[in-house]
Amino acid sequence: MSEKLQAVKGMNDLLPPDSARWEWFEETVRALMRRYGYANIRTPIVEPTPLFVRGLGEVTDIVEKEMYSFEDKMNGDALTLRPEGTAGVVRAVVQNNLLYDGGKRLFYIGPMFRHERPQKGRYRQFHQVGVEAMGFAGPDVDAEVILMARSLWRDLGLSDVRLELNSLGQPPERQAHRAALITYFEAHLDQLDEEAKRRLHSNPLRILDTKNPAMQALVEAAPQLMDFLGEASIKHLNAVRAVLDAVGQPYRINPRLVRGMDYYNLTVFEWVTDRLGAQGTVCGGGRYDGLIEQIGGKSAPAVGWGLGVERVLALLEEGGVTPPAQGPDAYAVVPDAQALPQVTAVIEQLRAAGVKVMQHAGGKDGQGSMKSQFKKADASGARFALVFGGDELAQGMVALKPLRAGGGEQCLKPLADVAAWGQDLVGGAA
């Protein structure tokens, strides 16, 4: 016997019935995007490595430690499995000149890859939903994408998620803050861990995001970027806050909120929870006005967010939120295999009318007993059984048997008028 092959560590199979939860989640996301006027964009899983080095920053954890990068054996190109979605979407927008006629509202759903330690809700192949509003400079769009996430939590039935908000200002303001941070941390060099010392002169802002408990007091006393913001940056933040206040959305200003990529400016935000342990961020994003030009396009503003699908589904499960039943509308019970051609023709008419029908599949010697077929019909989650018995078929009828409470009484339905009564099965009434 050949050796049994296993999936790559941290890259998981998605099997029924769990896949039904994912389908429900994705359908909820797509319905939300339609309501807000966002169009779907799909980019390649593999991108040129320089796209992420240039877009995310050379001294980010993602680029330094987590990317799956390799050399194309055919031509020697440096390629990377995408670790996040924004850089690829920006590359596609620039390459295809999508902003030639004005701003675009886009969203994506798909797998991302990072080589990190697998843990609950965090895997080496994980999935993201992201929105990107490109070509819009105003704080109104910042508020719009934040409130889109709020609407998603409502649609999913997710509670206990709170909003944290900050501003990273503009590059000159960050440079002044950066210089102040370096001076401050150099004066406390003995309190920095090795990771912080390594980042001190390359990316000191990331020190503020340390998870080292021994450094928390030091970080709390560090210079705050908010104190370096100019009038325009403060005005932009206050305009976002005014919209959030107007719709009654609570938030907390978190001056230590910096995000993990170098491309952000002005508004940054995270939706966080205490119910997933240390990995408390459910959704995060912000404004990245310089990234389009940085990747080779004409300068244009942009704002967006991304969320981890696995993490959101884990939070829903932890909170006891269950998706609607995904079973078929009806299960076809066929006592006599000789009737299969006639039964299949009827079932295909029902499916064409929009009815979800699961047809019983028997063994090579027959369809199986009525008892076993009804057992499988009940296990399928179907609301009704369609019983194609010999007596019923002889009358040109099928017996409709409710399998769930509230389904009414068993009755006969004419085979000659499938389209008329088939729609009643979809609605749950017969």
Stretch (H or E) spanning 29: helix 18-36
What's the number of CA atoms in the CB half-sphere (13 Å) around residue 229? Answer: 20
Interatomic CA distance for residues 389 and 163, integer angstroms: 59
Q: Which residues contact 402 (CB under 8 A, 6 or more apart)?
A: 383, 384, 408, 409, 410, 430
- Equal CATH topology for 18-169+229-318 and 330-427: no
Distance CA(67)–CA(56), nearest Å, equals 11
Strand 397-402 with 384-387, pairing: antiparallel
Higher-pLDDT residue of 149 and 201 is: 149
Q: What tens digit of pLDDT does each residue of 193-206 get? A: 988 888 888 888 88
pLDDT at 279: 59
Q: Which range among 175-184, 270-279, 399-408 has the greatest average pLDDT?
A: 175-184
**With bands split at pLDDT 50, 70 and 90, how would you rate the model's confidence at 326?**
confident
pLDDT bin (cut points 50, 70, 90) of residue 63 is confident
Q: Which CATH class is domain 330-427?
A: alpha beta
pLDDT at 162 exceeding the cut of 60: yes
Give me the pLDDT at residue 406, please. 74
Q: How would CATH label the architecture of 18-169+229-318?
A: 2-Layer Sandwich (3.30)
Considering Cα of 211, then 284, then 257, then 249, what sign does the dihedral take? negative
Whether the pLDDT of residue 257 is over 50: the answer is: yes
pLDDT value at residue 235:
97
The secondary element (H helix, E strand) that includes residue 46 is: strand 46-48
394-398's contacts with Cβ under 8 Å and 24+ in sequence apart are 398/346
Rounded CA-CA distance 298/275 in Å is 42
Domain ranges within the chain, ordered by starting residue: 18-169+229-318, 330-427
Mean pLDDT of 208-233: 90
The pLDDT mean for the chain works out to: 90
Please measure the distance between the N-terminal and C-terminal CA atoms of the chain and give it in whole angstroms: 53
Q: Residues 305, 144: contact at Cβ < 8 Å?
A: no
Return the bridge partners of 385, or none.
331, 401
DSSP 153: H
